[in-house]
Structure formats: structure tokens, C-alpha cells
């Protein structure tokens, strides 16, 4: 089973060394490709220290695209299965890749698998609880027939730590390109509608969490709102608002149980930034279509 691991990077020096060390210590040997978009720190130099064990592709920062950049690296890879990691995702344990690939061996129609995200130590409590809500301990495999049951959650997928069966990826047309964000979610929809299955493998874990400012949160969700509206017909499941409310309620209850009342206010501010950003993105997308 030949596996390729692709890591898009931009100013990733703080993370890359530990990430590459973890990947090279896996029980599954993999081809590793770092595709860097104009880093101004030591990212490329760090990747270069690994010699032939890590391939480095360099592109201009202005040419980065969430779908197109990943697709370009995949086109240069050789693996029957292709794993994508974000630059700040650190594999937990030596069996991360083995567990991420397990569902492919268990069902021939599984086209893509994503792993579990666990917040870094020191992350805000609301980040830890958000990860716990979105990435539970229960594995699942689902198909197009399950969309009514899961709603928008049927398309929830994360290239933070995910793997694709190359033959299915190519048959479905690959990532949308260009696309501003959520290339993983839109690819998941493509695969489901093409008759493939998706899987979630919680034993394939990475450390990953954010410390975003309110402005960063807002700008991120402007992009998400626009993309979700643009591809709404592919999703065919109605609004994601209900799922968002359930997540907010889960996190608030968790913070209350822990007595983190100050963080409740901070989390609500971030939730508001997400909501407003999402709505602005939708409005802008509607305006561009007129």
C-alpha cells in the first residue's frame, strides 16, 4: 500500500520539524511532499534538512489556492492513497497513518477518511470542547443514502488530517479549483453523490487547535459563508444553522460545568463573529451572482 503525505505550508517553521519527525516515525512508510507557498521564515530550509526523505515543491504565495495547490501536489505524488495534513497538525503516536488508512482496507467503496483532532495543551477550553463536539470517539462510515439522517454533518470533513483513495479522487474530478476554503467539504459531497462512502477514524489522531482573534474568525467565516452559498445545490441538505446552534450549546454547557464563566463570554463573542461573518459572506456571494 503506497501512501503519499502532502503538507501545504506557509511560514510553518514553528511546526514543521516536529510534524515531519512524527511522520517519519510512523509504522507506515510514506512519500512526503511539502508544498510551500512563499514562506518568509525557515520552512523550506527545515524541510530541506530531511534530504531525499521529504520532497519540497515551491510556488508563489499569490498562487496558493486551497483546492488547486493540494491538487497540484497530488498530481506529483505516487501513492495509491494520498494523505493531506495542515501545517499545524501533529500526529499523535506512531500509528496515526495506519489508523487513518484502516477504513480503506475494511470497505472497497470508502473513498476518503478523516481523523480526529485533539486540542493542543494550552488551547482555550472552548477550543478543546469544540474539538470534542466535532471529533467524538465513535467511528462511522456513511454513504449518500445517509444524508437525510446526518443533514449537513454528512458533508463534514477535514483536510487537517485526511486521506483519499486516488482512483476515487480522480474519478470524481478532484478538489474544486479555485476555491477559497472548504475544499474538503465540497470534495466529500462530490464523492458521496458519486456513490462512494466516507469514513471517520477517531483512532487516527492529531493535535490541532486555533487561537484566532475575533477579526480572524470573522474573515474566515466570510469565506466559508460565500463558499457554502455558492455550492449549496451540491450539499442538498438545507441550512447548517441548526448544527451550529447545537455545537454552541454543547460548548457553553461544558464551560459552565467547568466554571469557566469568563471563557463563556469570549466563546460567545467568537460565535457571534462566525455568525456575522457567515452572513456577510452569503450576502456578498449573492451580490456577485446578480
Note the pLDDT of residue 57.
98
Domain with 231, as residue range(s), is: 214-289
Q: Tell me how far CA of residue 256 lies from CA of 235, 252, 290, in angstroms.
A: 34, 6, 45
* Phi, psi (deg, nearest 5) at residue 164: -125, 145
Task: Work out the average pLDDT over 268-273.
Answer: 97
Note the pLDDT of residue 289.
62
* Chosen domain end from 207, 241, 260: 207
Same-domain pairing of 267 and 145: no
Note the pLDDT of residue 198.
98
Same-domain pairing of 195 and 249: no
Q: pLDDT band at 287, cuts 50/70/90?
A: confident
Task: Work out the average pLDDT over 30-45.
Answer: 97
**Which residue is listed with cell 503516536?**
93
Q: pLDDT band at 238, cuts 50/70/90?
A: low
* Chosen domain end from 187, 207, 227: 207
Domains in the chain, number: 2
Q: What is the mean pLDDT of the chain?
A: 95
Is pLDDT of 1 > 80? no
pLDDT tens, residue by residue, 241-259: 788 899 999 999 999 999 9
pLDDT tens, residue by residue, 202-228: 999 999 998 899 999 999 999 999 999
Within 10 Å of residue 288's Cβ, how many Cβ atoms?
A: 9
Same-domain pairing of 144 and 220: no
> How far is 53 from 31, CA to CA, in rounded Å?
7
Note the pLDDT of residue 172.
97
| pLDDT cut 90: percent of the chain above it | 92
Same-domain pairing of 168 and 220: no
pLDDT tens, residue by residue, 141-167: 999 999 999 999 999 999 999 999 999
Same-domain pairing of 125 and 239: no
Note the pLDDT of residue 237.
62
Note the pLDDT of residue 236.
76
Q: pLDDT band at 64, cuts 50/70/90?
A: very high
Q: What is the CATH number of the domain that holds 147?
A: 3.90.550.10
Same-domain pairing of 62 and 106: yes
Task: Work out the average pLDDT over 11-26.
Answer: 97
DSSP 36-92: EE--SSSHHHHHHTTGGGEEEEEE-GGG--HHHHHHHHHHH---SEEEEE-TT-EE-
* Chosen domain end from 207, 223, 246: 207
Question: The pTM is what?
Answer: 0.94
Same-domain pairing of 195 and 222: no
Same-domain pairing of 150 and 86: yes
pLDDT tens, residue by residue, 78-128: 999 999 999 999 999 999 999 999 999 999 999 999 999 999 999 999 999
Same-domain pairing of 282 and 181: no
Q: Which positions ≥6 away from 2 have C-beta within 8 Å?
A: 31, 78, 79, 80, 81
Is pLDDT of 290 > 60? no
Same-domain pairing of 169 and 52: yes
DSSP three-state, residue 202: strand
| pLDDT cut 70: percent of the chain above it | 97
Amino acid at each position: 500500500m503506497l501512501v503519499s503525505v502532502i503538507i501545504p505550508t506557509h511560514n510553518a517553521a514553528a511546526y514543521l520539524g516536529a510534524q515531519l519527525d512524527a511522520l517519519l516515525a510512523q509504522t507506515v512508510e510514506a512519500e512526503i511532499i511539502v508544498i510551500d507557498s512563499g514562506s518568509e521564515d525557515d520552512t523550506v530550509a527545515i524541510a530541506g534538512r530531511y534530504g531525499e526523505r521529504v520532497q519540497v515543491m515551491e510556488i508563489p504565495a499569490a498562487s496558493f489556492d486551497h483546492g488547486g495547490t493540494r491538487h497540484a501536489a497530488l498530481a506529483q505524488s505516487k501513492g495509491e492513497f494520498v494523505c493531506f495534513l495542515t501545517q499545524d497538525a501533529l500526529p499523535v503516536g506512531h500509528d496515526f497513518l495506519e489508523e487513518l488508512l484502516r477504513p480503506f482496507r475494511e470497505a472497497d467503496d470508502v473513498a476518503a477518511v478523516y481523523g480526529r483532532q485533539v486540542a493542543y495543551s494550552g488551547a482555550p477550553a472552548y477550543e478543546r470542547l469544540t474539538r470534542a463536539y466535532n471529533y467524538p470517539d465513535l467511528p462511522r462510515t456513511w454513504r449518500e443514502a445517509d444524508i437525510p439522517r446526518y443533514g449537513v454533518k454528512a458533508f463534514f470533513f477535514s483536510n487537517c488530517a485526511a486521506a483519499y483513495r486516488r482512483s476515487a479522487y480522480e474519478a470524481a474530478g478532484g478538489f474544486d479549483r479555485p476555491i477559497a476554503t472548504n475544499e474538503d467539504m465540497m470534495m466529500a459531497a462530490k464523492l458521496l453523490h458519486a456513490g462512494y462512502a466516507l469514513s471517520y477514524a477517531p483512532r487516527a489522531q492529531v493535535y490541532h487547535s486555533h487561537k484566532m482573534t475575533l477579526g480572524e474568525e470573522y474573515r474566515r467565516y466570510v469565506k466559508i459563508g460565500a463558499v457554502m452559498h455558492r455550492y449549496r445545490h451540491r450539499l442538498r441538505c438545507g441550512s447548517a444553522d441548526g448544527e451550529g446552534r447545537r455545537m454552541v450549546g454543547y460548548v457553553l454547557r461544558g464551560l459552565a460545568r467547568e466554571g469557566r464563566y469568563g471563557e463563556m463570554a469570549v466563546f460567545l463573542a467568537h460565535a457571534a463573529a462566525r455568525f456575522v461573518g457567515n452572513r456577510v459572506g452569503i450576502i456578498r456571494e449573492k451580490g456577485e451572482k446578480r
